[in-house]
Structure 1
């Protein structure tokens, strides 16, 4: 009989104990149940969107579709001209990722490796901002969007507010700082002796060693920005600038319920596929492999 391989906090000896095996099985079943509960709403929306119109409105509803009307997807896509909303969302997401990686990465490098006088106090202030509810800053932020300080320009109907907010993320700064702390200082000193500037060290030494955390932050940012609703809804009033989520919300009164399910499927699929393709990179972002040589 093949031995069951057990890894993690439960070793082989502990696993042989009946009580531990029972607890392990119960925890495993619990995790499966939680996964089903989390996945069921999204799967239900995607599967229901493919149902025939008669089956869609049938009561009680069918759990597994008896018919699949795939043509509804193409009809809805062309009717609602969904491609422009996809382009807007991709554009906003790409800018947010760029601003997030560049500015938060530089901040993490600043607090981890440069550490000028007063940086510890400034870092403490940034950490304290995590204790504030998000709703506290909504009114001041929106006021600054309508009348941007110093420049006195209106940033509504532009993607700049979302990009600028992505550029200052305390959680991402913490992740970058924690990762950069594990980079040997000797590598930076060697680059400094070779004549590299501080920005040169960041771009030619730190960044190449930080691919795992860069990929992780990119994945998390893409998923967060793609499904973001509040600020795009508040800022993007022109239909030509709507993102996918804003378009679905604003057009909900013009669409029957089955068409709403189809549009929700359009919103769900891209981040899910993106996450599945790169999910292994998330765990790599929280570890740092040693350098041999």
Structure 2
């Protein structure tokens, strides 16, 4: 009987190369250099913002630029908070992001469940048309979406200067529907059949069976929804024309003309902190949710 030797997976470097001392040294050297370069590329702008807010406007305009502040002034953050009235804009942004999150879950979860488990007629075509919208540039959808918001079909309602102008378009998120569907596809059909035999309907099955099993992907979709609403600029600029209800990204752009540059940088840092903290807290859930839909077990 001939025993077939399993071939190892081929990567950029073969296992035989890594067994050599020179191969291991070269591998870790290249890995370390690439890791440091990518880390510097992502971390340098954040560090520059943190330190730049502590410099005076004259020092920020100085050439060549200084790396560390000559006279660090942490008070610029407090001054920026008061000067640009960021508390109100933070509140507006939280309302917009929370509403966009709730509306997306209310629309995307049932849509993905129907496409995955109920399998409606022409479901594949519907999913294909949804995914086709991802190929369109966002700028191409601005005009038709704006016209729809200014005169909502059937309701004849103008949603300009209303958070709903951001919530409703956010619900049409093909990417999140695709992520949810991919995850729902991995849930055994036998489990849902057993629930139906016990008398559970489609809504009960979704709420009591599918959603508790889908916490990882729901966390990922939730984070994507909140981050997208928090950092969006063009669409809130178009539909939130009243300064009193504008979000952080729009308000910071409006203050840019008459705000000292160090205070503007401090405002940008303060606006970025919630999303950076959210990523650091939920990064494990993000990675787990993104990979869970592609693993069968």
* TM-score, reference length from structure 1: 0.90
Instruction: Report the Cα distance in structure 2 between the residues aligned to 1:113 and 1:60, rounded to whole angstroms.
Output: 61
Instruction: Report the Cα distance in structure 1 between the residues aligned to 2:124 and 2:62, rounded to whole angstroms.
Output: 62
Instruction: Report the Cα distance in structure 2 between the residues aligned to 1:291 and 1:120, rounded to whole angstroms.
Output: 21
Q: Deviations over 1:107-131 (max 9, x none)?
A: 1111111102221221121122222
Q: Deviations over 1:249-278 (max 9, x none)?
A: 011112121111111111111111111111
Instruction: Report the Cα distance in structure 2 between the residues aligned to 1:42 and 1:98, rounded to whole angstroms.
Output: 30
1:17-28 to 2 correspondences below 5 Å:
17=20, 18-19=22-23, 21-28=25-32
Instruction: Report how far residue 200 of structure 1 moved.
Output: 0.8
1:267 equivalenced with 2:271 (yes/no): yes
Residue 216 of structure 2: aligned partner:
212
Instruction: Report the Cα distance in structure 2 between the residues aligned to 1:24 and 1:282, rounded to whole angstroms.
Output: 27
From 69, 73, 77, give the equivalent of 1:69. Answer: 73
Instruction: Report how far residue 54 of structure 1 moved.
Output: 5.0
Residue 177 of structure 1: aligned partner:
181
The alpha-carbon distance between structure 1 residues 151 and 42, as it changes in their structure 2 partners (threshold 3 A), is: same
From 62, 85, 91, give the equivalent of 1:87. Answer: 91
User: Does the residue aligned with 1:273 lie in a helix, a strand or coil?
Assistant: helix
CA contact (8 A) 1:162 1:231 kept: yes
Unaligned runs of 5+ in 2: 1-9
Instruction: Report how far residue 165 of structure 1 moved.
Output: 1.6
User: Does the residue aligned with 2:29 lie in a helix, a strand or coil?
Assistant: helix
Residue 129 of structure 1: aligned partner:
133
Instruction: Report how far residue 201 of structure 1 moved.
Output: 0.6
CA RMSD, 1 decimal: 2.3
Residue 240 of structure 1: aligned partner:
244
CA contact (8 A) 2:18 2:24 kept: yes
The alpha-carbon distance between structure 1 residues 291 and 126, as it changes in their structure 2 partners (threshold 3 A), is: closer
Instruction: Report how far residue 96 of structure 1 moved.
Output: 0.9
Residue 63 of structure 2: aligned partner:
59
Unaligned runs of 5+ in 1: 1-7
* TM-score, reference length from structure 2: 0.89
Instruction: Report how far residue 57 of structure 1 moved.
Output: 4.0
Residue 5 of structure 2: aligned partner:
none
The alpha-carbon distance between structure 1 residues 111 and 20, as it changes in their structure 2 partners (threshold 3 A), is: farther
Residue 157 of structure 1: aligned partner:
161
Instruction: Report the Cα distance in structure 2 between the residues aligned to 1:14 and 1:164, rounded to whole angstroms.
Output: 55
CA contact (8 A) 1:179 1:286 kept: no
Is the deviation greater in 172-181 or in 51-60? 51-60
